Structure 1
Amino acid sequence: MQESFIETQAQLTDFIHEVGDSPWLAVDTEFIRERTYHPRLCLVQVANDRIATAIDPLALEDLTPLRDLLLDPGIEKVFHAARQDQEIFLNEWGALPSPVFDSQPAAALLGYGDQVGYGKLIQQVLKVELAKDHSRTDWSRRPLDKAQLRYALDDVIYLGQAYQKMKQALEKQGRLEWLKPEFETLTTETTYSLNPMDMWKKVKGRQHLKGAKLAVLQAIAAWREEQALARNLPRRWIIKDDVLLEIARRAPLNAQDLEKIRGVDGKFVRHNAAALTQRIQDALEIPRDQWPKDKFRANRPTPEQEAVLDVLSAALRLVAREAGLSPQAIASRKDLAALLNGEEKSPLRQGWRAQVAGKPLLELLQGKRRIELANGKLSLTRQ
């Protein structure tokens, strides 16, 4: 395997020329986002079956050749857990590499486990133990030493090798087509769009609020998101979750009351009180029928529904065993509840999950199937 570190435009041009006709490229990124809203791209690793390189975006003035390479529709881009990498490319270039292959959902279909980490996947597929020494590296610091570059290059060298084995196995099992809808979602821009008015759903502890106070939380969480985006700062640097919850609970309508809340200092009040209290006032005037509803509270199963979910969970284990998959790779209890509630967007009504598990589970709910115990063994049989 030919390896390199690219930090000049000439080196980048030569690399693009060498790999431009590849049918696939393994891709990974290193970034930091502790001090910013958007991830800061610090390194891009790319490999095929012959060449691997780490490209330094902090040293290069123009990444257009790399952009054109990764946006080439004739090259399949291989990632592990692609969402973060794709989000970075969309933010940097305003476009998404396509088509893609993501080894994480592929691993689930091959029985390697749900949401499996990269190191564990490589160990299972290639029997290679990867070093973990640099998982907390500050990739923005220069120069990078040999050990850091070794760690970064291994991320794409072994990913490419695993991809070739996994794709062959998926084709042999007739499951590669099952993944296409998931891969297409990763190349759709709306997948990465955030609606500020939905950010209250990410605030820990929101279940302790209800009614108008939940409307206040929705409004001020949206305000925080807008501020974080505009200033390119982490949300918690604008205001922490626990403080946000307390503001929603008290709903202060003036600067004096806002400043009485623990965690809110005078500087924050001087710069933000007017805008924040106006958002609170507007939220308190929202009609009752327009208050946000927390699905966690609204869709809490009844005791009878919990019993049905237990039955569905047992059936799911039977279906998973037959398919050679882990139940967790197919559906969570929350997904089963969505199926039970008739939600059209339930994962069990979409793609391969509908084919493998959704259809037989619906038939169980409709009385067309039953769980049968015979000779100490459970099975899901047709009526």
Structure 2
Amino acid sequence: MNYQFITTNTALEDVCKAASEVSQIALDTEFVRIRTYYPHLGLIQMYDGKQISLIDPLTITEWTPFVELLTNPTVLKYLHAGSEDLEVFSHQFGCVPTPMIDTQVVAAFLGYPISCGFATLVEKYEHIALDKSESRTDWLARPLTEKQCQYASGDVFYLLPLAKKLIAQAQEAGYMDAIVDECEMIAERRQETVSPELAYRDIGNAWQLRGQQLACLKMLAEWRLNQARARDMALNFVVREEHLWSVARYLPTSLAELDALSLSGQEIRCHGRRLLDFVAKAKQIKDEDCPEPIGNLIEQPNYKKAFKAIKTVIQEVSEGQRYNPELLASRRQINQLLNIHWKIKTGEPELLSRWRKALLAEKITAILAQYP
């Protein structure tokens, strides 16, 4: 495949101008995220139907033309399995590709597995076997090898013809409105960020803690998330989640007690005194000022019955509408619905919004009324 490697601001402006004049483009990214909180962008691939462009984020400094292209309402952007790419774009540029269609989502509506891989679809529709051996290489190293560049090019070169065929099938089946709706929801979800003061609610087994324990966990989790973001470190490389919980659970008062809780030597050396300070502060908080206990979904008396009843409805609707049941409602989405229904969490249930609402709302609302 022929490609151009874009390393200057001027060259980027030229390719973005050319891409803005077509109706659709294919996009992909390569990034590295091993010990960091944020993904580190190593390459952006773009294909406008005429030219493959490999854009080097390590040398370009002026991204305005690319951001304008990402948000250009007249240019449709295709991604495949683009959830992580959306996170990369959101972090790097403060926006996501709009409008956007994820061909993995389109394939799911057509009956393929929810996480159907790009290579699988390319082989079926384009009769090309893609070499995936470069997928885990270091995309931050320079220079990139020719094999890396060919691999990266293939991820966008075959995406446009694949999208054309998938979209034709989806249009014929009448799925396009739902597909657009689903892709918009995915994009919105990927732009959501965790509020530091609520980070404690995402800690495993937080529901087991009460009073000052939960107050301590709240402070610890907020501090850890702020540290991770400020230092660009994966959360568990600041302090492991299970260690954070143990500190909150047992409220140790010395470094020796931290060691007895199996915290690592590095965690104790770097953060031991700070952790003990949080424990001391938590012990000064009155019970009435501590966070409310966190509900545990699976401990709800009617959880299994409600879940089973909703799954039955999902199965019936999916068979009648010819949807993959997992596409119509994942386990995560059913749990989200029940968490919100029983006021364990807040938000709008995905199963009762957008394209799913017309299919599911009436029957699911009737089920929820049986389990107040």
Q: Residues 36 and 319 from structure 1, CA distance in 2 versus in 1: closer, same or farther, beyond 3 angstroms?
A: same
Partner SS, residue 31 of structure 1: strand
State which drifts further: 243-252 or 279-288.
279-288
Amino acid across the alignment from 1:351:
R
**Residue of structure 1 in register with 2:349 after alignment:** 346
Q: Which runs of 5+ in 2 are unaligned?
A: 342-346
CA separation in 1, counterparts of 2:232 and 2:303?
44
Alignment pair present for 1:113 and 2:113: yes
**Residue of structure 2 in register with 1:163 after alignment:** 163
> 1:165-184 to 2 correspondence within 5 Å?
165-184=165-184
Residues 77 and 100 in structure 2, CA contact (< 8 A), matched pair in contact too: yes
Q: Residues 364 and 244 from structure 1, CA distance in 2 versus in 1: closer, same or farther, beyond 3 angstroms?
A: closer
Q: Which runs of 5+ in 1 are unaligned?
A: 368-383
CA separation in 2, counterparts of 1:37 and 1:145?
27
**Residue of structure 2 in register with 1:379 after alignment:** none
Alignment pair present for 1:356 and 2:355: no
**Residue of structure 2 in register with 1:222 after alignment:** 222
Q: Residues 214 and 120 from structure 1, CA distance in 2 versus in 1: closer, same or farther, beyond 3 angstroms?
A: farther
**Residue of structure 2 in register with 1:280 after alignment:** 279
CA separation in 2, counterparts of 1:293 and 1:129?
53
**Residue of structure 2 in register with 1:300 after alignment:** 299
> 1:76-115 to 2 correspondence within 5 Å?
76-115=76-115
Residues 185 and 191 in structure 1, CA contact (< 8 A), matched pair in contact too: no
**Residue of structure 1 in register with 2:326 after alignment:** 328
CA separation in 1, counterparts of 2:368 and 2:215?
36
**Identical-residue share of aligned pairs (%):** 27
Amino acid across the alignment from 2:193:
S
Structure 1 residue 306, shift from structure 2 partner: 2.5
State which drifts further: 158-167 or 251-260.
251-260
Per-residue Cα deviation, 1:82-117 (whole angstroms, up to 9, x for no partner):
332222222222333322222233332222222333
Q: Residues 275 and 156 from structure 1, CA distance in 2 versus in 1: closer, same or farther, beyond 3 angstroms?
A: same
State which drifts further: 52-61 or 120-129.
120-129
**Residue of structure 2 in register with 1:317 after alignment:** 315
Structure 1 residue 138, shift from structure 2 partner: 0.9
Residues 215 and 292 in structure 1, CA contact (< 8 A), matched pair in contact too: no
Amino acid across the alignment from 2:140:
S
> 1:1-383 to 2 correspondence within 5 Å?
2-188=2-188, 191-204=191-204, 206=206, 209-212=208-211, 213-255=213-255, 257-265=257-265, 268-269=267-268, 271-284=270-283, 285=285, 287=287, 290-295=290-295, 297-302=296-301, 306-333=304-331, 335-336=333-334, 343=341, 345-362=348-365
**Residue of structure 1 in register with 2:344 after alignment:** none
State which drifts further: 85-94 or 24-33.
85-94
Amino acid across the alignment from 1:326:
N
Residues 45 and 54 in structure 1, CA contact (< 8 A), matched pair in contact too: yes
Residues 330 and 357 in structure 1, CA contact (< 8 A), matched pair in contact too: no
Amino acid across the alignment from 2:329:
A
Per-residue Cα deviation, 1:112-171 (whole angstroms, up to 9, x for no partner):
222333333434554543222112111111221122111111111222222222333333
Partner SS, residue 42 of structure 2: strand
CA separation in 1, counterparts of 2:339 and 2:39?
37
Structure 1 residue 337, shift from structure 2 partner: 5.6
Residues 39 and 88 in structure 2, CA contact (< 8 A), matched pair in contact too: yes
Structure 1 residue 189, shift from structure 2 partner: 8.8
Q: Residues 290 and 181 from structure 1, CA distance in 2 versus in 1: closer, same or farther, beyond 3 angstroms?
A: farther
Residues 259 and 269 in structure 1, CA contact (< 8 A), matched pair in contact too: yes
Partner SS, residue 106 of structure 1: helix
Structure 1 residue 46, shift from structure 2 partner: 0.5
Q: Residues 342 and 246 from structure 1, CA distance in 2 versus in 1: closer, same or farther, beyond 3 angstroms?
A: closer
CA separation in 2, counterparts of 1:21 and 1:140?
31
CA separation in 1, counterparts of 2:340 and 2:31?
40
Structure 1 residue 225, shift from structure 2 partner: 0.8
State which drifts further: 107-116 or 197-206.
197-206
Amino acid across the alignment from 2:307:
L
Q: Residues 201 and 105 from structure 1, CA distance in 2 versus in 1: closer, same or farther, beyond 3 angstroms?
A: farther
Q: Residues 363 and 35 from structure 1, CA distance in 2 versus in 1: closer, same or farther, beyond 3 angstroms?
A: closer
Q: Residues 140 and 291 from structure 1, CA distance in 2 versus in 1: closer, same or farther, beyond 3 angstroms?
A: same
Structure 1 residue 206, shift from structure 2 partner: 4.5
Structure-2-length-normalised TM-score: 0.84
Amino acid across the alignment from 1:219:
M
CA separation in 2, counterparts of 1:171 and 1:249?
54
Partner SS, residue 42 of structure 1: strand
Amino acid across the alignment from 2:350:
P
CA separation in 1, counterparts of 2:159 and 2:227?
38
CA separation in 2, counterparts of 1:189 and 1:347?
10
Structure 1 residue 359, shift from structure 2 partner: 3.2
Amino acid across the alignment from 1:309:
F
Residues 112 and 124 in structure 1, CA contact (< 8 A), matched pair in contact too: no
What is the aligned-residue RMSD (CA, Å)? 3.1
Structure-1-length-normalised TM-score: 0.82
Amino acid across the alignment from 2:184:
E
State which drifts further: 27-36 or 209-218.
209-218
